[in-house]
Amino acid sequence: MARTVWPTTMSDLIRASSILIVGAGGHARVVADILLRAREASGSGEPLGYLDDEPNLAGQRMLGLPVLGAISEISEVDPDAALVAIGDNHRRAEIFNHLLELGQVIAAAIHPGAIVAPDVALGRGVMICAGAVVNTGAIVGDDVILNTGCTVDHHCRIGAHSHVAPGVHLGGNVNVGEGVLVGIGASVIPHRSLGDWAIVGAGAVVTRNFPAHVTVVGVPAKETGGQDGC
């Protein structure tokens, strides 16, 4: 197999048919792996590299892809498309909206090992990791992370900028608001709703509806009294 030569100069970047990953932390590496696996499966979508504001990362390579500079330099790179791969929902939403204001095309990353029903509606910039299952009638908003091995059952609605963590199970007809974090291993029974920017703790079992900006934990899940994750 021929060796892939990744572009490193600005002129190379401009010529490349490319997807730029915004962020270079742990989740960004997961997204890079998704794009690489998807390219192997379909032959399309070339991950170009990362942008990150951490100066110590500049010039490093992760999964063979270089960290090309700071996020503010995206207009200079001018990729064909970009994808915001940052785990924090608030920060990811901020950068996602900024990229839209700049007129950037937003890519998606869907692992070839994920199962997504053909009638599922997917927003811009969604990230669907290995082993995730998204069943018929589901609607997934912009910039959503469906992490490793999660299940989203039929006719769920997931609002923009939400993160469904690894091993989460959403029953049928669950409504997840904007910016919600459903923590690792949590479960939500069918026909329940989570308000915008709510947080569900790891391993919690949601058996009733919860409003916006609350944090809930436990089995069954109860509010902790904090807001916005505090």
Residues annotated as catalytic are: 154
Kindly state the tokens that stand for 12.
């190379």
What is d(CA 28, CA 41) in angstroms, rounded to the nearest whole number?
Answer: 20
- Say which residues have a Cβ less than 8 Å from residue 103's Cβ, sequence separation at least 6: none
Count other Cβ atoms within 10 Å, centred on residue 210.
Answer: 22
The continuous run of DSSP H or E covering 28 comes out as: helix 26-42
Identify whether the C-beta of residue 184 lies closer than 8 Å to the C-beta of residue 167.
yes
Identify whether the C-beta of residue 100 lies closer than 8 Å to the C-beta of residue 94.
no
- In a 13 Å sphere around the CA of 140, the CA atoms on its Cβ side amount to 32
Q: What is the DSSP string of 96-139?
A: HHHHHHTTPPBP-EE-TT-EE-TT-EE-TT-EE-TT-EE-TT-E
Report the SS3 class of residue 158. Answer: strand
C-alpha dist (Å) from residue 2 to 5, 50, 146: 9, 23, 33
Best CA proximity match to 83, nearest among 100, 70, 69, 68? 100
Identify whether the C-beta of residue 47 lies closer than 8 Å to the C-beta of residue 32.
yes
